[in-house]
Chain A
Amino acid sequence: MTTLRIEQVSRTFPARHGNAPTRALEPTDLTIGNNDFVTILGPSGCGKSTLLRIVAGLDRPTSGRVTLDGREVTGPGADRGMVFQSYTLFPWLTVRENIAFGLRERGVAQDERNKIADALIRQVGLSGFENHWPKQLSGGMQQRTAIARALANDPKILLLDEPFGALDNQTRALMQEMLLGIWERDQKTVLFVTHDIEEAIFLGSRVIVMSARPGRIKAEINVDLPHPRSYKIKTTPEFVQLKERLVEEIRTEALKVAEHA
């Protein structure tokens, strides 16, 4: 059982060069239960990455705390896998070595590492690319590798920060199906950040809508669409209805950002 609790977590970036301090995140509460797939939706600059980085332990909250199964998060660790928006594969390692990075750090023997890595390579559809360098891969393939690399540690929760944000629409749709397929099969706990409304609905069991600066949770919407979901679901009335509702929510937020800018 995995429970992630975000309790009154806020983040203010200190003032620099005479600028006022940036209040990136208002005190926020969120609980994510076992095998939840939660998507966080919000316009850019609303503190989504800040929140995710705090959960990952890469940043410290100004107030409040994050606990995973009752233990407070004080730094990054292998129990929380992270996939970044930018391409962060290690360029000097092959696909297989990248995926096995965390296992190697934990002292898993080479044979065992390769077995786990190769199984994941098949799962994310990269068979035949085991020995390629990241430079030789397309953006979509790099993110597949990054997802496999995070999964290799068998983390309690998978954190994804707009992992498909830089991909073209077709690739992005394929990646969404792949990720959802993995979740439907292996029942992982997932926290997924995006600014794409369709993506948030298609993937999530719950969509958390965040408001613009300073970021805070504005609405929470359950997505009761059945699983397994295929891309066809995106044209059903239920999906379109949810989408309309979220478009309204996001629009008001985006307008606020535009007024302040």
Chain B
Amino acid sequence: MRPLDPVTSKQRVAYGFAFFVLFVALWSWATLGGHVSKTFLANPLTMVQEGYDLLARQGFLYDIGMTIWRVVGGFALAAIIAVPLGVLMGAYKPVEAFLEPFVSFARYLPASAFIPLLILWAGIGELQKLLVIFIGSVFQVILMVAVTVGATRRDLVEAAYTLGASDRGIIRRVLLPSSAPEIAEILRLVLGWAWTYVIVAELIGSSSGIGHMITDSQALLNTGQIIFGIIVIGLIGLLSDLLFKAFNAWLFPWRLA
């Protein structure tokens, strides 16, 4: 091993996989070896069994579907509003001066703290879950997109002006394409955070979703189910991340060239 020396892609997969093996091995040793009480932590086999039971007999797939739809719905809503606003803020300094202080303030408001208020306003239906995710994501995306667009290379903007670009042309044909890969990365990052908000939203006043299943299992002290739920969240997160990455690479071939 030397600093910054690259690894081959095969090695990369092997190392990544090895950690999961090590993790499960340690977990098995702790639980099956009797070092941790069953009440607090289920062993991997029980977890798999409980997971199968959840999927086959308790309609857990429906819960998973509900959670995914809430994340995607709330996140899409946030993105549709936040990306154009962020672009406007990044491009036009007066808009930025107008909105930035408020957005910076709102960004620190914890989405989970809004849940009681949102239940009051929107009930415990789907709208409330979507709003939690929306509030949790929208300000982050606005601010990060604004910073990215604002940091567009000035020399590219100047080159475009000398080529006869109008102000609209600068936005459409310089600011947007040059920021697009970063914006896609921002969305990927914030989608990850949205997953934590949805679970919190489902822990309180919900009748479906992965978070709801986890609260139910807690009441029954079924740690196997809780862990299975958490692992499912992790797997979906990992999968969506990979898809997002592949999609970005396909969308912006000039970056990798």
Contacts and interface: CB of A to CB of B under 8 A. Distances in A.
Contact of A56 (B162, B165, B166, B169): B162
A77 interface: yes
B163 interface: yes
B254 A78 contact: no
B6 interface: no
Contacts of A78: 162-164
Interface residues of B, number: 22
B177 interface: yes
Contact of A105 (B158, B166, B177, B255): B166
A52 to B, nearest CB: 11
B156 A88 contact: yes
A149 B163 contact: yes
Contacts of B254: 91-93, 133-135
B161 A105 contact: no
A136 B166 contact: no
B183 to A, nearest CB: 13
Contact of A90 (B156, B166, B252): B156
Nearest to A91: B254
Contacts of B253: 133
Interface of B is mostly: helix
Contacts, number: 75
Contacts of B161: 57-58, 75-76
Interface in B21-54: none
Interface in A162-191: none
A80 interface: yes
B160 interface: yes
Interface in B143-181: 155-156, 158-166, 169, 173-174, 177-178, 180
B257 interface: yes
Interface string A115-143: 00000000000000000111110000000
A92 B252 contact: yes
A82 B160 CA distance: 10
A239 interface: no
Interface of A is mostly: loop
A203 B31 CA distance: 81
Contacts of B257: 132-133, 135-136
A76 B162 CA distance: 5
A81 interface: yes
A92 B163 contact: no
B47 to A, nearest CB: 46
A88 B154 CA distance: 10
Interface of B: 155-156, 158-166, 169, 173-174, 177-178, 180, 252-255, 257
Interface of A: 56-58, 75-78, 80-82, 84, 86, 88, 90-93, 101-102, 104-106, 132-136, 149-150, 153, 159
28 contacts: A57-B162, A76-B158, A77-B164, A78-B164, A81-B163, A82-B158, A82-B159, A82-B162, A84-B158, A86-B155, A88-B158, A90-B156, A90-B178, A91-B254, A92-B178, A93-B177, A101-B163, A104-B173, A105-B160, A105-B163, A105-B169, A106-B164, A134-B254, A135-B254, A150-B162, A153-B163, A153-B164, A159-B162
